[in-house]
Amino acid sequence: MGKVYLVGAGPGDPDLISVKGLKCIQQADVILYDRLVNEELLSHAKQDADLIFCGKLPDCHFMQQETINAHLVKLAKEGKTVTRLKGGDPFVFGRGAEEAETLADNNIPFEIIPGITSGIAAPAYAGIPVTHRDAGASFAIITGHRREGQEEDTKWESLAKGIDTLAIYMGVGNLPYICGKLLQHGKSEQTPVALVEWGTTVSQRTVTGTLGTIVTIAQKEEVQNPSMIVVGEVVRYRDKIQWFEQQTSKNYYASGAL
């Protein structure tokens, strides 16, 4: 019997993977990796390792989740060391729990290797702390969409009135609905909002506004997935402590690219 490692690859910057996660890549016989995994990490794999892409696009799954689950079981039963490499953290909107359940049901040995999730990392790279003594004593991570056909159960009133900072994943397509719900339940139109596109990568771009303006701004700027939506007063700190995009821009000019 082999073993499966469910590994969080982090939010995009390949240097943000954990030491243990990197070891799992280096030792794997087979790596099944997602769309948002930085492929630079695959350069650390063994020369004879099998690399299997099983990424998903919105409304287009290259490999169905049930097929991925079946592959993990099959490969482990063949005696392989399998690394399931997932963007961010396996247990934060990454379906890692579903895969772990399948492995447990089939008596397959496995380990969970946490990763840095984009709900914390993307704001940090944009100069936005998700907590701050003066502006953010609580934060919540929220999915911006639900499984098709599933009843909407996000507690918008509690989120609007009881949480200081909201980090919303996979929500750009539903941005008008999200902003509308927060406004409907008492959030001020002046509440700062940031959209961090391709967070922690060289393509990172941050667009800011308020709950009352961000939908129009996002449409004008043509913000696309993957993007993290950050709602709360902590967004104001970006004006003072943004660092990554400025650093990337300086390196770009210094390289002679322009």
Per-residue CA distances from 143 to 70, 92, 175, 244 (Å): 26, 9, 12, 25
Q: Can you tell me the distance from the alpha carbon of 107 to that of 127, in angstroms, rounded to the nearest whole number?
A: 44
Radius of gyration of the chain (CA): 20
Q: Can you tell me the distance from the alpha carbon of 61 to that of 83, in angstroms, rounded to the nearest whole number?
A: 20
The phi and psi torsions of 243 (rounded to 5 degrees) equal -140, -40
- 3-class DSSP state of 105: helix
Instruction: Locate the DSSP E strands across the chain.
Output: 3-8, 30-33, 50-53, 56-57, 60-61, 81-86, 110-113, 139-143, 165-169, 192-197, 205-210, 227-231
Best CA proximity match to 206, nearest among 118, 127, 119, 88: 127
Q: Can you tell me the distance from the alpha carbon of 201 to that of 197, in angstroms, rounded to the nearest whole number?
A: 9
Q: Would you name the residues annotated as active-site residues?
A: 34, 56, 170
Phi and psi based region of residue 4 (left: phi greater than 0; alpha: psi -120 to 50; beta: remaining): beta
Do 139 and 164 touch, CB atoms closer than 8 A?
Answer: yes
